[in-house]
Amino acid sequence: MVQELSPTTNIIYPDSDGQPMADNTKQFRWIVVIKENLELLFANDENVFVAGDLLWYPVEGDSTTRKAPDAMVVFGRPKGDRGSYKQWEEDNIAPQVVFEILSPGNRMTEMMRKLEFYDHFGVEEYYLYDPDRVDLTGWKREGNSLERIDSIQNWVSPRLQIRFEITPDSLTIYHPNGEQFYTFVQLEQLRQEAENARQEAENRAQEAEKARQNAIPKLLEMGLTPEQVAEALNLAITEIIESQNSDL
């Protein structure tokens, strides 16, 4: 018996559209910062998939209808590597949130086509950032269509719970806990500062313990009882801690 192949069996869905991820360093930096901070935000949730520059195919059997958002978040899908996001293989769940970062090479007609695509295929939130103009535009699904967000300043994403703050110089994005989105370099600097502070505290604790051990015999030789020695040492340690805290 010969099994007939379905019309979609031999369709190839390429993992690349042949387009570069970014046109310049500024665009690339923003793509990485947003994508990686979203990864960090949902690191402990196995059912949130985050990707950057990954081709999304929403329709089975159609390899030409596709987009590769600079960053996208899909709730309800497991983490893991993918060559592309074929929606029919993902419980037919469309990305709920997408980000695009503009570069001088992006044309407004292309941005409009992306908006129409995301609107048509069910994206709930769409954010478009122009780092050269420090201009952020957002859309949120209202009913059956994406509607532009009137006031984006201090806007909190309903899905992500992240907040956007715009100044004349830059865009700052904040995690739900108030921490801002950092670059890898900034995160490493913060980690190093925390490690230095930990090491300094450990050194101070060791010095205090050494001083305490050296002081006990001397205090006993002065005729103090063990209780008086303990009280004197506790008082001295308290004064040292308060002095150290005032220096921080």
- Domain with residue 114: its CATH number is 3.90.1570.10
pLDDT at 21: 64
Same domain, 192 and 176: no
Same domain, 200 and 147: no
- In terms of phi and psi (left: phi > 0; alpha: psi -120 to 50; beta: otherwise), the region of 143 is left
- In terms of phi and psi (left: phi > 0; alpha: psi -120 to 50; beta: otherwise), the region of 65 is beta
Same domain, 171 and 195: no
Residue 191 has pLDDT above 60, yes or no: no
Farthest-apart Cα atoms in the chain, separation = 104
Same domain, 52 and 103: yes
Residue finishing a domain among 152, 182, 212:
182
- Is this model's pTM higher than 0.85 or not? no
Which domain covers residue 242, as residue numbers? 186-247
Same domain, 87 and 130: yes
Which tens digits make up the pLDDT trace of 120-158? 999 999 999 999 999 999 999 999 999 999 999 999 999
9 found inside a domain: no
Residue finishing a domain among 162, 182, 202:
182
12 found inside a domain: no
Same domain, 37 and 152: yes
Same domain, 178 and 194: no
Residue finishing a domain among 154, 182, 210:
182
Per-residue confidence at 183, pLDDT binned at 50, 70, 90? confident
Same domain, 140 and 66: yes
Q: What angle do CA 148, 94, 136 make, to 5 degrees?
A: 30
β-partners of residue 56 are: 67, 85
Count CB-CB contacts under 10 A for residue 68: 20
Same domain, 144 and 222: no
Same domain, 57 and 81: yes
Overall number of domains in the chain: 2
CB 140 within 8 A of CB 124: yes
Residue 7 has pLDDT above 70, yes or no: no
Q: By three-state DSSP, how is residue 156 classified?
A: strand
pLDDT at 88: 98
Same domain, 67 and 109: yes
Give the span between the Cα atoms of 97 and 73, in whole angstroms: 5
Same domain, 138 and 220: no
92 found inside a domain: yes
Which tens digits make up the pLDDT trace of 84-108? 999 999 999 999 999 999 987 777 7
